[in-house]
A and B are shown apart, each in its own frame.
Chain A
Amino acid sequence: MITKETIKHLAILSRLEFTDEQLDNFSHDLDDIFNYAQMLNEVDTEGIEPSSHAIPIQNVFKDDVVKEFPNIDKIMANAPQEEDHAFRVPKILAD
C-alpha cells in the first residue's frame, strides 16, 4: 500500500516537493501501478540470474589521458550563474 507518507519520503529522496493534492494523486497512481505489477509474484524466478542489460556488456577501459575540452565557454554559457569558469550556487550550509 502506497500512502501519502510513502510519497513524502520518496519526495525527499528524489529532491522533489509536492502540495497535499499532488501527494494524494501520486500515492493513488503509484498504488495502482504497483498493484498491477504484483503479478510478477506469480513468476517462479528461483535460481534465475537477473539481467541488467539485454546483451552482455563489458567494461570498456580507456587510457587515462588528460585531454583539453575545446568548448569550455559553451559549457559555461549554459550555467544559470557563472563566475570565473565556476558554477555559482546558493550557500551550502544553513545559517
Chain B
Amino acid sequence: MIELSAIDLFNKIKNKEISSVEVTSAFLEQSKKTNSELNSYNLITEELAISTAKKVDDKIAAGKKLRILEGVPIAIKDNICIEDVETTCSSKILEGFKPPYNASIIDRINTLNMPIIGKTNLDEFAMGSSTETSFYGRSKNPWDISTVPGGSSGGSAVIVASGQAPISIGSDTGGSIRQPASFCGVVGMKPTYGRISRYGLIAFASSLDQIGPFTKNVEDCAQMLNVLCSYDAKDSTSQNVATEDFTRDLEKPLKGIKAAIPKELYNANLNKDIKDYYDNLITKLSNEGVIFEEIEMPSLKYALSAYYIIAPAEASSNLSRYDGVRYGYRSDSADSLIEMMTKSRSEGFGDEVKRRILMGSYVLSSGYYDAYYKKAQQVRTLIKQDYKKAFEKYDIILSPTTPTPAFKAGEKNSNPLEMYLNDIMTIPVNLAGLPAISIPCGTINNLPMGLQLTGNIFEESKILGIANQLEKILNFKLKNPFILPLQGEISNRTEGVS
C-alpha cells in the first residue's frame, strides 16, 4: 500500500476498499520501521494521526461525502507550528518548544482531516542543503544511505521517497523543497511567494520563504496545492488572488509549448556527463513537440552571491528572537541578562546558523550596508527583470534542479561555499518569487536527477500541466530499497552504489 499515490489512497478510502485508520496504520508502521535507519522524523505523532483517521472512518460510516484527500496521511516539516506538538526546527535552542497555536496550513490540513504522522527532520532552522546541520543527526537518502537526501527539507523528501507518508510538507527559501525532491526522486513544488500563508512557519528569510508539498506524482502535487493555497489575513504578505483548481491544466497537450533554457544555468555549472544526460533528455522532449530555445539571462550568474547576502541578513534579524527569555533553551551558567542571552544563543545554535547570523550582521553593519545589502537588492531587481523578459516569449524556463545527483554525507561539510554552490539552479527562483517544480527525470549511477520547471508569477496550473505531461513521457519509477523491498533484502542492505 505504501507505494500508492495520495489520490489512489483517497479513492480506496472513499470507495470503502480500505479505511483511513488502516491506511494511516500502514504508513505509521513503515515510518517506525525505517526511521531508525533513515532518521527522517524528529517526532512520530501516532496518537494524533490515528484519532484524525478515526474521524474520517466515522464520517464514512455515517454516509457523509469525503472531500478530496480527506483521510490521506501527511508529514510536516518540523519548522511549522502544530499546537501542543513539539516544534524544534531541528535546533537545540527550540528543544521542547510546544507552540500555543497552529500554523494556518495546519488548520487547513486539520479541516480536511488529513492524519498528521509526524514532524520531519531538516537542516537547523532550514539552513543547509543536506540535512546534515540538524541537531538531531543527519537524514539519509533511501536510494543510497551513504548519500545525503538534500536539504533543508531532507526529512520530508525522504519520507515520501521511502513510503513513510504519501505526502509531506516542506519549506523552500533557496531550493529547500526542489533540491531534496531532486535528490530523492520525488515531486516537490515551491509556489509563487504569497500563495500559501507563512503564518506559523518559523521564519528564516521572510522575503524568500515559501511552503510547498512533496508528492510521488504531479497530480498529487496539484491536489495538495488546492488544500494549501488560500489568502490569509494573518500573513501580511499573503496574496489575495482568486482561488483556482490547480488540476485544471493537467491534461493539456504539450505540443507547441515554448521552453527557455538559460545558458547561465545550463552551460556554466554542469560537468560533461551530466550535460550529456540533459542534452539527451531535451532531444527526447523536443521529439514530443516541446520547442526549446537557449536564452541569455545575464543576472542569473549573480543570484547566488545576492542570495547569500539577502538571506543571512534577514535570518540574522529573524533569529534575534531566540534569547532564552520566553521559550526554548536557556543557559544556566549566567549571572546577568546579557550574559544569559549570549550563552543561551552560543550553546543553543549550531555552527551553520551562527555562520549565517555573522554573515547577516556583517552585511547589515554600518560601512557595508551599501556595498553588500543594497547592491544585492539591486541585483535582485535585475533578476526579476530578466525573468519578466523571458516570460514575454516563453511558457516555462527549464533547467536541471541541481548540478549533480546526491553527494556523499560529509563531502561538503568542511567548505560552506561549496555547499552553497549546490543551490545555484534553485536560488534565482526564490529571489524572483516565482513558482517552480522539480520532477524526477531519471537516474545517474542509480541516483535520481530532477528537472526544474519555472513559471511566471501565479502560473502554477500551467507548470503543473506541463509537468504532468512530461511525467508521462519520462516514466520515472520510484524504486529504492525502502519503498519496494525485494524479498530478503531489507535486513542486509548494503551502503554505496554498485
Contacts and interface: CB of A to CB of B under 8 A. Distances in A.
Interface of A: 2, 6-7, 10-11, 13-18, 26, 29-30, 32-34, 36-37, 39-43, 45, 48-55, 57, 59-60, 62, 71, 74-75, 77-81, 87, 89-92, 94
Closest 3 CB pairs of A and B: A54-B433, A50-B377, A74-B100
Contacts of B473: none
A43 to B, nearest CB: 6
Q: Which of A2, A40, A49 has the most CB of B within 10 A?
A: A40
B337 A74 contact: no
B380 interface: yes
Interface in B443-498: 457
A26 B355 contact: yes
Given A15-B341, A53-B237, A43 B299 contact: yes
B432 A54 contact: yes
A19 B301 CA distance: 36
Given A74-B84, A75-B100, A80-B324, A14 B358 contact: yes
15 contacts: A10-B358, A15-B320, A17-B346, A32-B415, A32-B417, A33-B308, A34-B362, A40-B305, A45-B379, A49-B378, A52-B207, A71-B100, A79-B327, A81-B330, A89-B325
Given A17-B343, A78-B327, A40 B207 contact: no
Interface string B433-448: 1100000000000000
Nearest to B301: A39
A57 B340 CA distance: 37
Interface residues of B, number: 76
A33 B358 CA distance: 12
B98 A77 contact: yes
Contacts of A10: 358, 361-362, 365
Interface in B347-401: 349, 354-355, 357-359, 361-362, 365, 372, 374-382, 384
B336 A91 contact: yes
A6 B381 contact: no
B309 A37 contact: yes
A50 to B, nearest CB: 3
B334 interface: yes
Nearest to A72: B100
B194 interface: yes
B266 interface: no
A40 B302 contact: yes
